């Protein structure tokens, strides 16, 4: 059954860490899986919620690992947030809690960044976070600035273990300001799904999300009408999956096992 359904897919959305690679090590069969998608003439998107790096940064990493990607195939929650702000709050000033890499990317998208009198606070996965950044963001949010987050992930996996991600920062800000995000742009939310469907010009039922996280990748697919393929090569193992209420259309040990089904 999986063979028949997956052969009808016109675009594969591929999560990165835990799905195609772990840290700087390619997961077995991942490069061949990407090649098979390309050879079949179908579209693909390399997708990540991680907004600490720009699409250009990810292009360098993905190509260095051997996937031969194009910049137009790479999508981050930071890019989606910039697009959302431009479409809905064009010309508004943004205070960024984020890295220099994301700052440069937002500048490139035409976002007006401000240190003090911002209309919007954009929270991201800031691996360069300082107390001053956090304090300014909380003050602006308390004063009524629109509060947007690139994504909701509590932790980011790393080779040394889990690290606090944007979702952890959101909890801290809520404790200080008693305010939650007005808008979240990344997986599993609809803003990112709409962006992808429009970018690809493909209807949701012809898109498959492949990832290792139930709460982001699989829930993202389920929430937005995509097919979902869970791989057990990253965060989720079979015990976690069997105990979860979030279910995928397909479950594979790794992307290597999807090759024969597409």
| Domains 2-49+187-261 and 88-184 agree in fold | yes
For the chain, the structural domain boundaries read 2-49+187-261, 88-184
Is domain 88-184 classified as CATH 3.40.50.1000? yes
Q: What is the DSSP string of 177-236?
A: HS---SEE-STTSHHHHHHHHHHHT--GGGEEEEES-IIIIIHHHHHHT-EEEEETTSS-
Query: Which DSSP string corresponds to 20-49?
Result: TEETTEEPTTHHHHHHHHHHTT-EEEEEE-
Please state the rounded mean pLDDT for residues 192-205. 93
* Rounded Cα–Cα distance for residues 157 and 142 (Å): 31
Average pLDDT, the chain: 95
For residue 13, give the DSSP letter: E
pLDDT at 187: 97
Instruction: Give the C-alpha separation, 40 to 218, whole Å.
Output: 24
Residues sharing a CB contact under 8 Å with residue 27, sequence separation 6 or more, in sequence order: 19, 20, 21, 233, 254, 255, 256
Q: What is the pTM of this model?
A: 0.94
Q: What is the pLDDT of residue 95?
A: 98
Residue 157 scores a pLDDT above 80: no
**What's residue 140's pLDDT?**
97
pLDDT at 160: 78
| pLDDT at residue number 23 | 84
Q: How far apart are CA 67 and CA 203, in angstroms?
A: 26
The reported pLDDT for the residue numbered 240 is 96
pLDDT value at residue 131: 97
What band does 4 get if pLDDT is binned at 50, 70 and 90? confident
Tell me: pLDDT of 1 over 60: no
- End-to-end CA separation in angstroms for the chain: 11
Tokens of 4: 């028949």
Confirm if 79 and 56 have CB atoms less than 8 A apart: no
- pLDDT (tens digit per residue) in 65-121: 999 999 999 999 999 999 999 999 999 999 999 999 999 999 999 999 998 889 999
Kindly state the average pLDDT of the residues 235-253. Answer: 96
Residue 238 has pLDDT above 70, yes or no: yes
Instruction: Please tell me the distance from the alpha carbon of residue 59 to that of residue 55, in angstroms, as a whole number.
Output: 6
pLDDT at residue 158 greater than cutoff 80? no
Rounded percentage of the chain residues whose pLDDT exceeds 70: 99
Give the model's pLDDT for residue 236. Answer: 94
User: pLDDT digit string (tens) for 46-60?
Assistant: 999 999 999 999 999
Alpha-carbon gap, residue 129 to 62, rounded angstroms: 25
CATH topology assigned to domain 2-49+187-261: Rossmann fold (3.40.50)
Instruction: Show the tokens assigned to 81.
Output: 């947030």
Asked whether the predicted pLDDT for residue 2 surpasses 80, the reply is no
Pairing of strands 163-164, 155-156: antiparallel
């Amino acid at each position: 059954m999986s063979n028949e359904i997956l052969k009808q897919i016109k675009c594969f959305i591929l999560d990165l860490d835990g799905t195609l690679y772990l840290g700087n090590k390619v997961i077995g069969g991942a490069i061949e899986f990407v090649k098979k998608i390309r050879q079949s003439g179908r579209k693909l998107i390399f997708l990540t919620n991680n907004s600490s790096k720009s699409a250009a940064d990810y292009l360098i990493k993905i190509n260095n690992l051997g996937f031969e990607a194009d910049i137009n195939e790479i999508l981050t929650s930071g890019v989606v947030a910039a697009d959302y702000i431009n479409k809905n709050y064009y010309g508004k000033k943004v205070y960024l809690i984020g890295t220099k890499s994301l700052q440069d990317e937002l500048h490139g998208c035409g976002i007006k960044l401000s240190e003090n009198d911002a209309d919007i606070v954009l929270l991201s996965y800031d691996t360069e976070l300082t107390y001053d950044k956090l304090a300014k963001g909380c003050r602006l949010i308390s004063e009524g600035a629109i509060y947007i987050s690139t994504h909701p992930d509590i932790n980011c996996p790393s080779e040394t273990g889990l690290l606090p991600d944007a979702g952890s920062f959101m909890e801290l800000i809520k404790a200080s300001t008693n305010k939650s995000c007005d808008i979240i742009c990344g997986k599993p939310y609809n803003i990112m799904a709409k962006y992808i469907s429009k970018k690809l010009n493909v209807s949701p039922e012809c898109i498959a999300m492949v990832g290792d996280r139930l709460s982001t990748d699989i829930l993202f697919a389920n929430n937005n009408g995509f097919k979902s393929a869970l791989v057990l090569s990253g965060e989720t193992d079979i015990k976690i999956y069997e105990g979860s209420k979030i279910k995928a259309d397909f479950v594979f040990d790794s992307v290597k096992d999807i090759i024969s089904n597409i």
